Structure 1
Amino acid sequence: MDEETLNLLSFLKVSPYRRKILISLKDENKTPTQISNDVDDRVFHVSKILREFKDRGLAVCVNEHKRKYRYYQLTEKGRSFLKYIEE
């Protein structure tokens, strides 16, 4: 594994909420509120983690121009980390 992969893996594994959010996005696009309900965490915290995911190329907002009901999905890079998280 290269250094970037190890750093991202550490970033994900250090937080149970990051892992849960990554898994929550596995099968479908979701809003922060839907993810919040899935992982039993506050919407504010979920939104913060989604921003971190976007900054690291793990997720994207598919309708960024919307003010409400923004949907997020995993990128190929984000999907590639699921195998490490679900082990």
Structure 2
Amino acid sequence: MSQLTITLDDKLLHAAQEYARQRGQELDALVAHLLQTTVQPLANPPAPARPLSPRIQRLFGAVQVPADFDYEKVVNEAIQERYGA
């Protein structure tokens, strides 16, 4: 395991130590966990989505909607119409 030295503002260091203490952790374990949860997703990107079939790809751009189209509003109106208020 490697060692790292960082420089922190005194207030931040004391706050971080208190935060770790309240959670029953050592500060170095807390920092390691925070780095792991931040960096690990970047190191292991999610698997790419399944490619669209050619039939679906041909539909792309077939329907034009205005730039100010509010999808949520349309969905909510359809729900209201179907199920009532």
Structure with the higher fraction of residues in strand conformation: 1
Give the TM-score taking structure 1 as reference length. Answer: 0.29
Q: Which structure is larger by alpha-carbon Rg, 1 or 2?
A: 2
Give the TM-score taking structure 2 as reference length. Answer: 0.30
